[in-house]
Amino acid sequence: MTDQTSPKPATPAGQADRSADAAPVPRKLFIKTYGCQMNVYDSERMAEVLGAEGYTRTDTVEDADMVLLNTCHIREKASEKLYSDLGRLKPAKLAKPDLKIGVAGCVAQAEGGEILRRMPLVDLVVGPQSYHRLPAMMRAEGQVVDTDFPAEDKFDHLPERRALRGPTAFLTVQEGCDKFCAFCVVPYTRGAEVSRPPERLLAEARDLVSRGVREITLLGQNVNAYHGGGWGLARLLRELAGIEGLERLRYTTSHPNDMEDDLIAAHGDLPQLMPYLHLPVQSGSDRILKAMNRKHTAADYLRLVERIRAVRPDILLSSDFIVGFPGETDADFEATMDLIAAIGYGAAFSFKYSARPGTPAAEKTPVAPDIADERLQRLQSLVTQQQRAAQEAMVGREVSVLYEKPGRLPGQMVGKSDHLHAVHVTDPAGKVGDLVRVRVTASSTNSLAAERLD
Ligand code: SAH
Ligand code: SF4
Ligand code: F3S
């Protein structure tokens, strides 16, 4: 899926290519991020690389000297969005011919030089493992493509984290996936599983905390398969919990088969580890799980959830579901609905199956779209009911909230509870970054209201 034959940037990878007398020229960078939180993290890091080259962020394309689209390939709709957005950039490029347009992320990785052929206005295409090479690519003449999986770690070549805006931060600890679920492009776009060394992660976390961060969410396509320097995720979480000032830890996304005993135990005895876990199951039918190559059954998943709840009874769970996977019958779908009913989720993301080129499932006959639509609607209404019930159950309870921003009303602050609910608190003295105790007074569609206690 990579395009290895395309021209390479003029400057070889990893070389220092900035001469001492070339002070960066101030320029503006517009970044649009699609897809998952790993792309959000990568966009921040790319902005930092380009910051060292004199670029500051702008929210308007018209002001930009460089537009970077950090793309997602997971479903057809996600990747097609790139092309419609590129189409919309034509007037800006005509008005400012030296505007640089770059495509990064998973579509870049999957389609490589094909993007340049379809959209000649694009100047550079950079895969997720090559972001440290961006400055060299920008200096190269003509169109450039880099979708290598280089031997060097891009994170070793990125500048240190700079000033941050809020009290929460993402930290990518693991990338790539070796699971090869039959429907999924991630093993191809992000490559094989790689874990970052724990000492680097601890240093980055300490640095984030010194800049005011109080909550860190560890990221990875298979975050609980983390195995850096002989440590598992549980060990990493325990060490991170020792950093003074780091009040909250979360991690996402996990695979059920990688929930080891020590990680489950951490949920019972690490107070910093928040009681919310995203644990995608995809389907409740063993036949479909097998066809998806998930390597676990519905009963395995139910047992796992029981064990997690035994150590942390109030944990809220969320999941991803795919409906209309090739061969899914009514009975298979009902098994998924039964599993959802048995678990009781705090939230869930559900998707209609989308055939992705190059994946094994793409060869199979899909379920008729109207049947898949109907199933998706039924599943979503069940999940919405469960989500409301989980929110309602919080009313009257004391929870902690980390303020992330002022609310829309005067004197109001908004933040997340331990259980990841958005909470609005009337607190005229409240500041972004405060971690406060509140009592939940009401639940509305997507958030809770609360009063401050201390
Ligand atoms: N690594 C994570 C999530 C990867 S992508 C995990 O293993 O769970 C996020 C979600 O997108 C997946 O959990 C899946 O539900 C959905 N997804 C992935 N490929 C898809 C496809 N071809 N069609 C529809 N949904 C898909
Ligand atoms: Fe995709 Fe499966 Fe890997 Fe998740 S575990 S990223 S769904 S292949
Ligand atoms: Fe999308 Fe790539 Fe993330 S395909 S979901 S941006 S890993």
pLDDT of residue 155: 77
26 Cβ neighbours under 8 A, 6+ residues apart: 54, 56
Task: Indicate if ligand 3 lies below 6 Å from the C-beta of 419.
Answer: no
For the CA of 184, the nearest atom of ligand 1: 19
Task: Indicate if ligand 1 lies below 6 Å from the C-beta of 326.
Answer: no
Are both 282 and 420 inside the same structural domain?
no
State the virtual CA torsion across 244, 250, 252, 258 in degrees, nearest 10. 90
- Report the distance separating Cα 367 and Cα 44, nearest Å: 39
Query: Token pair for residue 129?
Result: 């493992």
Are both 267 and 347 inside the same structural domain?
yes
Pocket test residue of 39, 223, 322 for ligand 3, highest count of atoms within 8 A of CB: 39
**Which residues constitute the domain of residue 293?**
155-392
Q: What is the mean pLDDT of residues 57-72?
A: 96
Task: Indicate if ligand 3 lies below 6 Å from the C-beta of 36.
Answer: yes
Q: State how many domains the chain has.
A: 3
Task: Indicate if ligand 3 lies below 6 Å from the C-beta of 356.
Answer: no
| Three-class DSSP category at 379 | helix
Are both 428 and 343 inside the same structural domain?
no
Q: Are 445 and 424 in contact (CB under 8 A)?
A: no
Are both 225 and 135 inside the same structural domain?
no
Name the band, by pLDDT with cuts 50, 70 and 90, for residue 152: confident
- List pLDDT tens digits, range 344-363: 999 999 999 999 999 999 99
- Report the distance separating Cα 399 and Cα 72, nearest Å: 35
Tell me which residue has its CA closest to atom 1 in ligand 1. 221
Are both 65 and 140 inside the same structural domain?
yes
Q: What is the mean pLDDT of residues 302-315?
A: 98
Pocket test residue of 72, 180, 186 for ligand 2, highest count of atoms within 8 A of CB: 186
Q: What is the CATH number of the domain that holds 231?
A: 3.80.30.20
Q: What are phi and psi of 300, to 5 degrees?
A: -60, -45
Query: Token pair for residue 147?
Result: 């979708």
Are both 235 and 98 inside the same structural domain?
no
Decide which of 90, 124, 151 is a domain's last residue: 151
Placement of tokens 């500048």 in the chain: 159
pLDDT of residue 3: 37
Task: Indicate if ligand 2 lies below 6 Å from the C-beta of 187.
Answer: yes
Query: Token pair for residue 244?
Result: 């003074």
- Report the distance separating Cα 328 and Cα 74, nearest Å: 20
* DSSP, res 25: P
Are both 318 and 194 inside the same structural domain?
yes
The DSSP-derived string for 257-312 is GG--HHHHHHHHH-TTB-SEEE---B-S-HHHHHHTT----HHHHHHHHHHHHHH-
Q: Are 336 and 294 in contact (CB under 8 A)?
A: no
The answer to which of 24-38, 67-81, 159-173, 184-198 has the lowest mean pLDDT is 159-173
Q: How far is the CA of 26 from the centre of ligand 2 (A)?
A: 40
* DSSP, res 161: P
Placement of tokens 């030296």 in the chain: 98
Task: Indicate if ligand 2 lies below 6 Å from the C-beta of 255.
Answer: yes
Are both 165 and 75 inside the same structural domain?
no
Q: What is the mean pLDDT of residues 328-345?
A: 98
- Report the distance separating Cα 62 and Cα 65, nearest Å: 9
Model pTM? Answer: 0.92
* DSSP, res 87: H
- Report the distance separating Cα 21 and Cα 5, nearest Å: 34
Are both 224 and 364 inside the same structural domain?
yes
Burial of 136 (0-12, 13-18, 19+ CB in 10 A): buried
Are both 162 and 130 inside the same structural domain?
no
Tell me which residue has its CA closest to atom 5 in ligand 2. 179
pLDDT of residue 438: 98
Decide which of 131, 151, 171 is a domain's last residue: 151
- List pLDDT tens digits, range 230-275: 999 999 999 999 999 999 999 999 999 999 999 999 999 999 999 9
100: which strand partners?
Answer: 66
**Predicted confidence (pLDDT) at residue 53 exceeds the cutoff of 60:** yes
Q: What is the CATH number of the domain that holds 119?
A: 3.40.50.12160
Q: What is the mean pLDDT of residues 303-322?
A: 98
Residue 241, number of CB atoms within 10 A of its CB? 17
**Predicted confidence (pLDDT) at residue 100 exceeds the cutoff of 80:** yes
Q: What is the CATH number of the domain that holds 424?
A: 2.40.50.140
Are both 33 and 146 inside the same structural domain?
yes
Q: How far is the CA of 72 from the centre of ligand 2 (A)?
A: 14
Tell me which residue has its CA closest to atom 24 in ligand 1. 353
Reference 243, options 198, 206, 192, 284; nearest CA is 206
Name the band, by pLDDT with cuts 50, 70 and 90, for residue 11: very low
Placement of tokens 């419609």 in the chain: 84
Tell me which residue has its CA closest to atom 14 in ligand 1. 320
| Three-class DSSP category at 211 | coil
Ligand-binding site membership of 72 (annotated): yes
pLDDT of residue 159: 75
Q: Strand 194-195 relative to strand 174-175: parallel, antiparallel, unpaired? A: antiparallel
Are both 249 and 221 inside the same structural domain?
yes
**Predicted confidence (pLDDT) at residue 15 exceeds the cutoff of 50:** no
Name the band, by pLDDT with cuts 50, 70 and 90, for residue 6: very low
Residue 416, number of CB atoms within 10 A of its CB? 22
Decide which of 151, 170, 194 is a domain's last residue: 151
* Angle between helical axes of 298-311 and 330-343 (0-180°, round to 10): 10
Q: How far is the CA of 274 from the centre of ligand 2 (A)?
A: 24
pLDDT of residue 17: 43
Higher-pLDDT residue of 2, 451: 451
Peptide bond into 147 cis (omega under 30): no
46-65 burial, b for 16+ CB within 10 Å, e for fewer? bbbbbeebebeebeebeebb
Ligand-binding site membership of 177 (annotated): yes
- Report the distance separating Cα 430 and Cα 344, nearest Å: 34
